[in-house]
Structure 1
Amino acid sequence: MDNFDEATQNELRTFIDREQAQARIAQSIHTMTSRCWDKCVTGTPSTRFSRGEESCLANCVDRFLDTSLYLVKQLEAQRHSL
């Protein structure tokens, strides 16, 4: 990257940061989908989820998002305290 001027280096850093953030989001979605599916869908999948499966999936996703948000806030707090 030393061959590029400062503006190009900054643009590349921004691009790489965005791509890494998108990859982290995609990985989180994959992890959430896999865990919640394994936990909640116990029978053979059909065209509709049972009421219990639907409720379990909604709660699982909500808890996953709550946990993720909590972790992000904790990491932000640690970063600001350094």
Structure 2
Amino acid sequence: MADDLMDSEMTQFAQMQQQRVALQEGIMKVNNVCYDKCITGKPSSSLDSWTEGCITNCVGRFIDAQKFILNRLQQKASNMG
């Protein structure tokens, strides 16, 4: 009984760690894409209005795309089920 509880806790911990890693990888991907797209020239200590707007739009488009893909996958899954 105690072993089952320990296995369940370890499985839950492993899943949480995998989710954390996936989230960090997603954030890193957005950072890299938006940095490459929006930071032109040498970075400075502050963002000009164009760069700030570019980053905001880039992150927003990335989130919109992820939502769209997730919705499509959910639709396909419900159609298959």
- The question of a shared fold, defined as TM-score above 0.5 by the shorter chain, is answered with yes
After TM superposition, the structure 1 = structure 2 runs for residues 28-47 of structure 1, keeping only pairs within 5 Å, are 28-47=26-45
Q: Distance in 1 between matches of 2:37 and 2:15?
A: 33
TM-score by length of 1: 0.80
- Aligned match of 2:47: 49
User: How many equivalent pairs are there?
Assistant: 79
Q: Deviations over 1:54-73 (max 9, x none)?
A: 11000001111122223333
TM-score by length of 2: 0.81
1:43–1:69: structure 2 CA closer, same or farther, 3 Å change rule? same
1:79–1:18: structure 2 CA closer, same or farther, 3 Å change rule? farther
User: Aligned to 1:5, what secondary structure does the other structure show?
Assistant: helix
After TM superposition, the structure 1 = structure 2 runs for residues 1-82 of structure 1, keeping only pairs within 5 Å, are 5-80=3-78, 81-82=80-81
Alignment RMSD (CA, Å) = 1.8
| Unaligned ranges ≥5, structure 2 | none
1:69–1:49: structure 2 CA closer, same or farther, 3 Å change rule? same
Please identify, of 35-44 and 4-13, the stretch whose mean Cα deviation from structure 2 is larger. 4-13
Query: Which residue identity is paired with 1:69?
Result: K
Once the two structures are aligned, what percentage of the paired residues are identical?
28
1:75–1:9: structure 2 CA closer, same or farther, 3 Å change rule? farther
In terms of fraction of residues, the more helix-rich structure is 2
| Unaligned ranges ≥5, structure 1 | none
